[in-house]
Structures are given as C-alpha cells and as structure tokens.
C-alpha cells in the first residue's frame, strides 16, 4: 500500500553484552498509514520506547529495517528527522525558561523563518491552552501543563509523523483527558500519530489500530473494537452474601444484556458478573432488577477490561512487567 508512512520489518534490538544482555525487540513488524493513529500497547519494559527511538532515528536496530515516509531510518536518518517529531515521558524542556522562551528556542532550532517565529509560537501556545502562563518559568507548571508544552514543542516543525511516548503516564484523569483532546486536534490536522501507552483506555480513546507488544514482537493487532470484542466487554460485578442470593440475582438478570440481550453472566460462588455497555441507563437497570429481587449485594463495581485482561486473553499469559534491574541482572 502506498499510503504507508511508517513500516518496520523484523526489528531486533538488544542492550548490553554477555550475562547482562537484554533482548528487547525480537522481530517486530508494524505499519502506520497516512493520517492514522496507531497505539503500541504494552506493559513496563516491553520495548515501546526502544521501538519509537529506532523509528525516530535515536537508536539503530541490530537487525531488521524501518522506513518513515519511504526513507530508511538508518541510511536516511537526517532526512527522517525532518519529517518526524518525538515527544513523551522524558520532557525535554529547559525548566528554568518560560514556556514562551522554550518554544521560541525550539522554533529557531527548527529553522522557522525569523519573521514567522513569534506568530508560530503564539499559535502553538494557544493550541495547547498555555497562552496565559506563557511568561512563567516551566518549573512552576503542573505535570499536565508540562506535557502540553512538550506536545507543542513536538509540533513546532509540523511533523508528518508524531511519536508520542506514553504521553499521559503519571497525569491525573482531568489532565489526561485534556491532553487526549489536544492530540485529537493534532490528528484532525492531518498528522499521523504513533503512540505508545500502558493504558488500554488511552489506546481505545485515541487509536484507530492497536498493536500489542509482547516478547519483543507484535502479538496481536486490530482496531480497538476488534480487540475489545476478543477481550470482552465491561462487566458489572456483584458480591453476594451467599450462593442462594447469587441464584436469585442470576434469575433476575437473565436477558438483561446490553443490546444483544445476552445477560445471564458468569458466576463464581457468590460473585455474579454481567456484561454491560457501561452506560448509566444499563447499569441502573441491572441494579434495579437486583433490588427488585430483594437481594442486597455486599458490594458491587463496574469493571472495564484492563491491559491485564487483554494480555491474558490475547497472549495466554499475564503481562509481565520487567523492571530494569531484574532484566539486566
């Protein structure tokens, strides 16, 4: 297909030597199409950062090839750098300078024509909602504000492909949502986005396609919906006082599934789990039926599929997080 902007084939990468050798990538293949958002989803230490570093020319692969806009990331590294931008968890900002000074410096480094620097910086600050604090030193910014400034820095040169490495790790839910909105704006402007994340929810919110990384390879790939269908829906879980109560609840909830009408759920002793679309209306209906059956659950919760669920379902094993020390030992 000629609308492919990033293609990786058989990427391999190991760090260290001898007993300290850590194989991180072991034949990773993936593609990103023009205008698309691809999320590389995986736990800590899975090799997500290594992958974006290779694709953005900061690291050389041991084997395999990768191209960006048809340019080889090793042979044509300088030209690749002109069409990509990498921003993410390691915020590369000068904290002692203001937001305005940071972006101005980056715009100059990116060879923005002199006359346009001021307007471009103002436009970016506005785009990420930092105009009001542009004159403050970055040290005074919150985590969310720093990420937004980092994102603006990545957009200075109008990249064709933006790599976002775990853009919201450590942010509170509100800041995370604000950043997602910004990212959507960027994508609507035509930028292709390669995102890495540990959060299934983030991949679900932003990505057209999700690639699950496991054992240094892409273990599963598809649209968020397709992966979720394989993994299963959200569930309402009810803890009940005893097995008799569980039977009453199961009877009361028969045929209560969202849309499809399949709602008998699975149970395990006094736990009853019922699929739901997570809407207030459906959850309320389920709870009303339980109440009408005269049963009082000891507790209940809405459980969304997690990265752990995805791993277990799609790879057959739990997501192993691999802290640096353990892997390198």
Ligand X SMILES: Nc1ncnc2c1ncn2[C@@H]1O[C@H](COP(=O)(O)OP(=O)(O)OP(=O)(O)O)[C@@H](O)[C@H]1O
* Contact residues for ligand X, defined by CB under 6 A: 15-16, 22, 24, 42, 44-50, 166, 198, 322, 324, 327-328
What minimum distance in Å lies between the beta carbon of 141 and ligand X?
22
Cα separations in angstroms, 141 against 58, 110, 136, 176, 266: 28, 24, 8, 15, 47
**Please, which residues have CB within 8 angstroms of residue 295's CB and are 6 or more apart in sequence?**
240, 245, 248, 249, 252
Torsion angle, CA of 190/222/26/47, rounded to 10 degrees?
A: 60
Complex with ligand X: residue 244 or 318, whichever CB lies closer: 318
Rounded to whole angstroms, the Cα distance separating 11 from 252 reads: 53
Complex with ligand X: residue 30 or 236, whichever CB lies closer: 30
Complex with ligand X: residue 48 or 120, whichever CB lies closer: 48
What minimum distance in Å lies between the beta carbon of 59 and ligand X?
9
What minimum distance in Å lies between the beta carbon of 27 and ligand X?
15
What minimum distance in Å lies between the beta carbon of 154 and ligand X?
17
Complex with ligand X: residue 36 or 166, whichever CB lies closer: 166
Rounded to whole angstroms, the Cα distance separating 15 from 25 reads: 10
What minimum distance in Å lies between the beta carbon of 56 and ligand X?
13
Long-range contacts of 218-225 (CB under 8 A, 24+ apart): 218/28, 218/29, 218/30, 219/314, 219/315, 220/314, 220/315, 221/30
Tokens of 48: 């997500």
Complex with ligand X: residue 196 or 276, whichever CB lies closer: 196
């Amino acid at each position: 297909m000629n609308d492919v902007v990033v293609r990786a084939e058989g990427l391999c990468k190991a760090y260290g030597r001898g007993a300290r050798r850590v194989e991180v990538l072991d034949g990773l293949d993936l593609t990103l199409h023009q205008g698309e958002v691809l999320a590389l989803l995986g736990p800590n230490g899975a090799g997500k950062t290594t992958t974006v570093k290779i694709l953005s020319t900061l690291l050389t692969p041991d084997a395999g090839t990768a191209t960006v806009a048809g340019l080889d990331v090793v042979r044509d590294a300088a030209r690749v750098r002109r069409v990509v931008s990498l921003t993410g968890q390691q915020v590369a900002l000068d904290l002692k300078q203001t937001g305005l000074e940071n972006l101005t410096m980056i715009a100059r480094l990116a060879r923005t024509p002199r006359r346009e620097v001021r307007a471009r910086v103002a436009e970016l600050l506005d785009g990420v909602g930092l105009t009001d604090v542009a004159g403050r030193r970055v040290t005074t910014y919150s985590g969310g504000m720093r990420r937004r400034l980092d994102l603006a820095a990545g957009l200075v040169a109008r990249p064709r492909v933006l790599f976002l490495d775990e853009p919201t790790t450590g942010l509170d839910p509100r800041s995370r949502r604000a950043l997602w909105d910004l990212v959507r704006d960027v994508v609507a402007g035509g930028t292709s986005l390669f995102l890495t994340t540990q959060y299934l929810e983030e991949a679900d919110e932003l990505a057209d396609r999700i690639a699950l990384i496991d054992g240094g390879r892409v273990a599963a790939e598809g649209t968020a919906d397709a992966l979720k269908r394989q993994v299963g829906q959200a569930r309402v879980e009810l803890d009940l006082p005893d097995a008799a109560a569980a039977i009453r609840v199961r009877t009361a909830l028969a045929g209560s599934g969202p849309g499809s009408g399949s709602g008998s759920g699975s149970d395990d002793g006094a736990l009853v789990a019922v699929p739901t679309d997570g809407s207030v209306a459906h959850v309320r209906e389920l709870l009303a039926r339980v109440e009408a059956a005269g049963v009082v659950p000891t507790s209940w919760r809405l459980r969304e599929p997690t990265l752990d669920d995805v791993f277990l379902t799609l790879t057959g094993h739990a997501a192993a997080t691999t802290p640096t020390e353990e892997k390198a030992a």
